[in-house]
Amino acid sequence: MGDPVLVDLLTWLHIFSVVGWFGAALVFMMVIEPALPKLSPQTNGELVLKVFPRFVRFVEIFASLALIFGISLALALSNGDLRLFGLGSMSGLYVTIGASFGLATYLLVFLLLGPSVMALGRLVVQMKQNPQQPPPPQFQSVQERLKFGAPTAVLLLSLAMAFMVAAAGTGL
């Protein structure tokens, strides 16, 4: 194992980043998304334009920090020899599975959720410019992607955390 002070610092930073990421996903899934249909169209549009971009940026920052600190932690724990996390040990298997779920969630954030929020913002601007027109056909599909994305992210992050905690329990 590497320098214990560095390992402790990276562990704390990694956990803090994951908590920020997971917390944001929970807030979106449990608070924001269920409230959207209950808001007036004008309030809904303002939320999409003023809150969503900042919210997604927050999620992307914490997801990126979790990834950076997780990789740094793995390197510090193994002194750069990642064979420590080989699939031949339970701890290595758990870390690999947990990291795979974390990476899948990271890709979900950057390939689905972020682009969907940006598309939703563009559609809201378009709808504000033409208030007499019905919502564009892609409006519903973008909303559906967001409804799918938040619970999926929570599930994947929950699985990632479960496997990482299991790995820590093996004495890694």
Percentage of the chain surpassing pLDDT 90? Answer: 58
**What pLDDT is attached to residue 168?**
87
**Is the whole-model pTM more than 0.85?**
yes
Q: What is the mean pLDDT of residues 130-149?
A: 86
| pLDDT (average), residues 46-60 | 92
Alpha-carbon distance of 33 to 52, in angstroms, equals 11
Residue 13: per-residue pLDDT: 97
pLDDT given for residue 118 in this prediction = 92
Tens-digit pLDDT profile for residues 64-120 = 999 999 999 999 988 888 887 888 889 899 999 999 999 999 999 999 999 999 999
Closest to 164 measured CA to CA, from 108, 99, 69: 99
Structure tokens that stand for 1 in this block = 């194992």
Q: Which residue has the higher pLDDT, 159 or 139?
A: 159
Higher pLDDT, 134 or 56: 56
Distance CA 43, CA 123 (A): 15
pLDDT-based confidence at residue 2 (cuts at 50, 70, 90): confident
Task: Compute the half-sphere exposure of residue 25: CA atoms within 13 Å on the CB side of its CA.
Answer: 26
Question: What's the pLDDT band for 24 if we cut at 50, 70, 90?
Answer: very high
DSSP state of 89: S
Core vs surface per residue 98-118: b (16+ CB within 10 A) or e = bbebbeebbebbeebbbebbe
Question: Which residues does 35 contact at the CB level (< 8 Å), separation at least 6?
Answer: none
Domains belonging to the chain, first-starting first, are: 4-169 (1.20.120)
pLDDT band at 62 (very low <50, low <70, confident <90, very high): very high
Can you give the pLDDT at residue 84? 79
